[in-house]
Amino acid sequence: MLNNQSILITGGTGSLGRMLVKLIIEKYQPRRLVILSRDEFKQFQMEQEFPIKKYSCIRYFLGDIRDKERLITAFRNIDYVIHAAALKQVPAAEYNPFEFIKTNIIGAQNIIEAAMFNNVKKVIALSTDKAANPVNLYGATKLCSDKLFLAANAYAAVQCKFSVVRYGNVFGSRGSVIELFLKQKQTGEVTLTDERMTRFWITLDQAANFVLKCLDIMKGNELFIPKIPSMRVTDLINVICPDCKIKKIGIRPGEKINEMLISNDEARYCYEFADYYILKQPSLYLSETNLPEGGGKLVSEDFEYKSNNNKVWLTKQDIKKIVDDYLENRI
């Protein structure tokens, strides 16, 4: 799909963006691969890993998704956009709400308008489990962003399609609790918000591969959700810091005990596939379901996909293997 095509990744210098770049240049021969971000130092660092002399298709493009004019320039002659740029820290959102609105919501609208202006073929936006029944500002901004991208299919040009990928915590991404626990391990004391806390987890390479798969099969107006395991935060602490003293600090502002990927209210338009779900919310202007090949079956009306009622859980042995792989291959 991506051979001889031009791809742009917003937030391309982040952990997931770098993994996407790695996979794309390993699997495909793109005409251009544009990494758009606002951090020149991270672009400099990334260019050491993916130098233009070796990877002639790569372009490093400074820009902020808050700047629509810059996006219009960046999207010129682009075929596919993967939108990974966002502000993501829950406590920071509670204290700086409008900064998150400007990036996560207004920035999303800028992506949509720049893509339609340049007749981009497909745009896939990355979301979070915190957008399902959000209780914090970050989740609320991503829910609004998701709605914008899906609604764009009703008024975009026929060629321009928009979809969303929603998944849980990415194991080892920048700002991940794993790095915090590894750092705290050196002190002998680790902080725990609540011993009941559970989370959905997905590794960087799994997340990046799922995004590329969804980009391939998307027809527009889908919200893709992978089937991924849950993990108890206490199990992660026991694997990383087995001998550390645990200090309970209480739940942070805007934090949940358990996360959700599909709410009960979304079950009415949720289709189950072998390894993922698709939410196809009905629209007055988009009457066709257009599911990927292989169909998909509507889930029951009482279905709910939460990190504490998941059928698949990571054991401590699973977690140890993932942590060891992360320490060996971290990017």
Closest listed residue to residue 30, CA positions, set 10, 4, 52: 4
Rg of the chain over CA atoms, in angstroms? 20
Tokens of 324: 């060891």
SS3 per-residue string spanning 139-160: HHHHHHHHHHHHHHHHCCCCCC
- Residues with Cβ within 8 Å of 212's Cβ and at least 6 positions away in sequence, in order, are 2, 20, 23, 24, 27
CB atoms within 10 A of CB 187: 10
Give one DSSP letter per residue of 209-241, joined into a string: HHHHHHHHH--SS-EEEE---EEEHHHHHHHH-
> Are 191 and 249 within 8 A, CB to CB?
yes
CA atoms of 311 and 322, how far apart (whole Å) = 19
Identity at 8, one-letter amino acid code: L
Q: Which of 42, 68, 130, 142 is catalytic?
A: 130
Is 130 annotated in the active site? yes
> Are 150 and 164 within 8 A, CB to CB?
yes
CB atoms within 10 A of CB 322: 20
CA atoms of 251 and 210, how far apart (whole Å) = 31
Catalytic residues: 130
